[in-house]
A and B are shown apart, each in its own frame.
Chain A
């Protein structure tokens, strides 16, 4: 099982003479076009937003500790649920994945940087402004948006003076993710090192490539939808105003035409991360590489034809309900292929359970629970009961927190030794994992029950029979939130270079170009296209030597 640690280190060292380092001081970060700097900025931004969004979720959970109103008034509660979602989705998860793409995609395909570095810089620096606009609405007359992150009219049109700020913030977030997506597509398609054909790319690049296409196709549609909201409110158009001939239901169609691909935008890069980590710690090649690629592409395609399952209750023709029900259920097939492949990769592998692997396994297990509750929601007749209840809340938090967020955490643990040259503290990593894994379930599992029993989402008050479930949920949320500081301090220690020196390969079973450069990765890597060794390529693809090597 000894891996190919020394295969290409010599060659990597050869090219890594530092031509010029980064600028000093704050201007380095403002002017940088370096993919590693921008990746770091994206990740720091993402975790800042996770913190802010997390605080908002604690306001929500504190209010729901008991029925009745105790800490905040209902209007503010609704602002919290709305902003929590917008901040977590557009500020936390999406920039988190873009940060990982910035760091890893060029290194994985053997490119010296992203293809459009200045666009990259612009894409990042839009974000702080976007979220300043969004969060500033909290201090405006009328408060922040409170109609839910889906911004359904006519309710959202009642937002106070913060309304245009909400719309322009969404526009800016959209521009930022589109620039990131264009960069990933161009980098992956144009800048791969010689010898790296598309079907030999690491799976993380594949899932991000497909995610990028989803972003390019759907973010402009969201931008269009919110622009229509803006003109409806201020310029007397009637896209969604019934009294002027519009139809508010049309907004839901347009929104979810974006919104459903969006949920795959939030999870496909996670699939890529997990498909990278599990083979490393199972010390086997990924089972069914090709089927993973095709499954990802199928999920992306299907995501465009299932949107109306979010709106079964608007009064659709039966044929429509059936179509959206069955097409939604069809997504379980490629997703099942993926889960099967992850498990088959672990099957009879020489597994070890370092922190990234623990998070990846928890991802497979808990994401599947979220997937199953998604299947339940896909059943149109029962969705009438589940719609807008805490069952939905439990479902999407299971796919987003132990799904997308766990994968970002796993990825950071997995690659931070490469980024900083220092191993994180494994003991505290494991403590962080167990606290997170336990308390995320304490938080969200009871919500399945309260939802099935009829507790509505987005309401600060609830019937007394739900008190126990809500108290459990609130305890879970607070402990989970506090546990994340273990992670933050662990990572800060790495960034301060405090800890054990990491080797270039870092993990015994790690393969791929990123592990052939020194740790920490030099400021400039692959200035000249690398020659890719068989070990790195074969280890990615299951038809290669990696597997037979193990089987011996």
Chain B
């Protein structure tokens, strides 16, 4: 800044406008943090979201039989809904590279139809991008009639590149009621389950 000799009103106004541009830019930056965060989590998996499907079931990696990893399943129903939701086995032991299927049992215990959406999460964070699913009820909305029961399979595989210090992986599903926001006409959202 120069010696402010007799600055005019104009200078002040111009300076004020410039700062206002910064304000607007920072407001935009706040929104940009969303995509930045998503991109960062996609690359690193730090928020526990799982990676995409294995595209080609024939191109499966070699099963690493020297390692045995415990996979635990956790199920939660969001918002205190009374639905039943549980895995058939609470845990399985798998070799990395081995395709495994686990069935989940869910029942709409309410007296009206609803649409549910399961959101997966993996802990520890550095296992998230090594857990691949070829089939999952979380890939799309699940409509339930009143009182309907469903057996829903999850077919998954742990990548042999799973970090060596990981011997237990927890796969958690939370069931959300999305009846209001996801009418059947709406195609299943891709982002939640695939990212």
Contacts and interface: CB of A to CB of B under 8 A. Distances in A.
Interface string A109-121: 0000001100100
13 contacts: A115-B15, A186-B15, A191-B4, A191-B7, A198-B1, A228-B30, A242-B78, A243-B176, A245-B191, A245-B192, A247-B47, A253-B33, A317-B46
Interface string A172-213: 000000100111011101111010011000000000000000
A217 B78 contact: no
B30 A220 contact: yes
Interface stretch (B20-28, B59-67, B88-96, B105-113): B20-28
B37 A250 contact: yes
A190 B46 contact: no
Q: Give the bracket for the number of chain B residues in contact with chain A.
A: 35 or more
Contacts of B12: 115-116, 186-187, 190-191
Interface stretch (B50-58, B119-127, B129-137, B146-154): B119-127
Contact of A220 (B15, B27, B177): B27
A182 B16 contact: yes
A257 interface: yes
A188 to B, nearest CB: 9
A68 interface: no
Interface string B1-21: 101111100011101100110
Contact of B22 (A216, A223, A238): A216
A225 B47 contact: no
B189 interface: yes
A218 interface: yes
A300 to B, nearest CB: 15
Interface of A: 115-116, 119, 178, 181-183, 185-187, 189-192, 194, 197-198, 216-225, 228, 236, 238-239, 242-245, 247, 249-250, 253-254, 257, 315-317, 320, 529
Given A221-B27, A253-B33, A315 B15 contact: no
B22 A115 contact: no
Contacts, number: 124
B13 to A, nearest CB: 7
A218 B24 CA distance: 11
A245 B189 contact: yes
A243 B46 contact: no
Contacts of B178: 243-244
A242 B119 contact: yes
A160 B50 CA distance: 34
Given A189-B1, A245-B189, A250 B33 contact: yes
B101 interface: no
B19 A186 contact: yes
Interface string B136-179: 00000000000000000000000000000000000000101110
Given A116-B16, A250-B37, A190 B11 contact: yes
B19 A185 contact: yes
A115 B48 CA distance: 50
Given A220-B24, A243-B192, A245-B191, A119 B16 contact: yes
A239 B1 contact: no
A189 B117 contact: no
Contacts of B25: 220
A316 to B, nearest CB: 7
Contacts of B119: 242-243
Contacts of B46: 316-317, 320
B187 interface: no
B11 to A, nearest CB: 5
Nearest to B29: A221
Given A185-B19, A190-B7, 12 more contacts: A115-B12, A119-B16, A190-B4, A220-B24, A221-B29, A221-B30, A223-B30, A224-B29, A228-B31, A242-B78, A247-B37, A315-B48
B2 to A, nearest CB: 10
B41 interface: yes
Contacts of B24: 220
Contacts of B4: 189-192, 194
Contact of B181 (A185, A242, A244): A244
Contacts of A225: 30
Contact of A250 (B19, B34, B123): B34
Contact of A244 (B11, B23, B47, B192): B192
A221 B12 CA distance: 25
A244 B29 contact: no
B31 A185 contact: no
B98 interface: no
Contact of B23 (A115, A194, A220, A228): A220
Nearest to B6: A529
B189 A182 contact: no
A185 B6 CA distance: 17
B37 A243 contact: no
B100 interface: no
A253 B4 CA distance: 40
B181 A236 contact: yes
A254 B38 CA distance: 13
A192 to B, nearest CB: 5
B103 interface: no
A217 B176 contact: no
B30 A242 contact: no
B177 to A, nearest CB: 8
A483 B19 CA distance: 41
A250 B31 CA distance: 11
Given A115-B12, A116-B13, A194-B3, A242 B174 contact: yes
B195 interface: yes
A253 to B, nearest CB: 6
A116 to B, nearest CB: 5
A192 B2 CA distance: 10
A187 B1 CA distance: 12
Contact of A228 (B19, B34, B41): B34
Contact of A257 (B23, B33, B47, B78): B33
A407 to B, nearest CB: 26
Nearest to A257: B33
B16 A254 contact: no
A115 B33 CA distance: 33
A-B pairs, top 6 by smallest CB distance, nearest first, are A224-B30, A243-B176, A245-B191, A245-B192, A220-B27, A220-B26
A317 B195 CA distance: 19
Nearest to A187: B12
A218 B30 CA distance: 9
B15 A189 contact: yes
B15 A245 contact: no
A194 B4 CA distance: 7
Contact of B20 (A182, A244, A249): A182
A315 B123 contact: yes
Residue of A219, A224, A238, A253 with highest tally of chain B CB at under 10 A: A224
